[in-house]
Chain A
Amino acid sequence: MSALGYYLERAGIATTGISLVREHTAQLRPPRSLWVSFPLGRPLGIPNDAEFQHAVIKAALELFEEASGPVLRDYPIDAPEVAIESAPACPVNFQRQSGSWQDRLASELSLTSPWYEIGLDKRAGRTLVGASTSHIHEILQRFGEDLDAHRIPADLKWFKASIEDAKTYYLEALSAEPGRHNARQLYRKLWHETELGRALGLFHAMFMDHPQRAGFARILLPRDAQSSIDDTMN
């Protein structure tokens, strides 16, 4: 982010940017930056709050009035996390499934898919699912086949896109109810209460053990889930 600001400005395009990691911006010194205290993934602060977002944009655009730089300004307003007790309840009652991985993932999908469709309606048909060339049923079927055979997927490009779609599908189902959700609660549910979370944890362990593929493991699980998910995998 900071690098783009620097290089575009050097080419004659005036830039202002939002910074989520103040320490990086302070080191790289792009021309104009507004540091915000919001979580990674939320540079405008609060979803579906146009007034809040406009205030952040206004503060960033005001940096064009500065006479010289680099300018790194701290935005003074936080975006408080939604309290778990006031967030909508998770609509899916996940239960430990039995049988093969193919069966476990297929059973769980039958619980999850009605809520994905409800979430799709809530978002007026918008979904982030679609990176993979495969439908969710095929994705989970192939995940199950690989796990049952205890092999890492052969087509890593397909696998990368399909992991993204599978997680997104679940998270959009988990957040199908109207209202503001607690993101950490949604991810905790995904990683610790679903067969998909356990499946990705097992893939992570298999990649870590592979002499040429260990680097791929880091796009499977977030760093803060890598240790805690081990207890729930088996």
Chain B
Amino acid sequence: MVRLSDLPSDEQAHLTGKALPPLGPPVWTTPIEPLKNMRLALITTAGLHLRGDPLFEFADGTYRPIPNHTAPRDIIMSHSSVNFDRTGFSEDINLVFPIDRFRELLDQGMLGSLADFHYSFMGAGLEPQAFEKGAAQVAGLLKQDQVDAVLLTPV
């Protein structure tokens, strides 16, 4: 089990040291289809991208597309933070980017379809508001792809 209280004191201080006011008034989009009819995408802030794509910079609000049929061995990570464990992700891509689990749900008829493209940001070194522009661009791309909903995974 890991809670903030279980982390070293310097790690706790870092994670709780920022005041993070709400980003704005509450937002809510009600899905219009049941899950079994939805088209889903994965979005992570783990700093993932295809081998050969530009690496994420030290602080970087941009994003990288990950085609749905990308093989796990073609995906690498260039995240600036050194304060999280990478060894689990080395063992299993699904620990951070659960693409195989999504394919299994699709095969079981639990999901309608998967997006043609998933996306990764790199969540380090910037205030939350720095992701507003990239998120708006990705929202447009998701709509072009007829995506209904997204599962977001941090790292």
Interface flag for B142 (CB, 8 Å): yes
Q: Is the CB of A130 within 8 A of B154?
A: no
Q: What are 7 residue pairs bridging A and B, where the CB atoms are less than 8 Å apart in the complex?
A: A50-B94, A80-B1, A128-B77, A129-B76, A181-B91, A223-B8, A224-B83
- Distance from A105 Cβ to chain B, minimum over Cβ atoms (Å): 19
Q: Is the CB of A183 within 8 A of B87?
A: yes
Question: Which B residues form the contact surface with A (CB < 8 A)?
Answer: 1-4, 8, 10-11, 14-16, 18-24, 26-31, 35, 38, 43, 45, 51, 55, 58, 72-73, 76-78, 80-96, 98, 100-102, 104-105, 121, 123, 128-129, 131-132, 135-136, 138-140, 142-143, 147-155
Chain B, residue nearest A10 (CB): B27
| Of the residues B89, B91, B142, contact of A8 by C-beta under 8 Å | B142
Count the A-B residue pairs with Cβ separation under 8 angstroms: how many? 254
| Of the residues B20, B98, B155, contact of A40 by C-beta under 8 Å | B155
Interface centre among B20, B76, B121, B152 (most CB of A within 10 A): B152
Q: Is the CB of A219 within 8 A of B82?
A: yes
Q: Is the CB of A1 within 8 A of B123?
A: yes
Interface flag for A69 (CB, 8 Å): yes
- Distance from B56 Cβ to chain A, minimum over Cβ atoms (Å): 10
Give CA–CA (A156, B3) in the complex, Å. 34
Give CA–CA (A37, B3) in the complex, Å. 6
Q: Is the CB of A40 within 8 A of B4?
A: no
- Distance from A6 Cβ to chain B, minimum over Cβ atoms (Å): 5
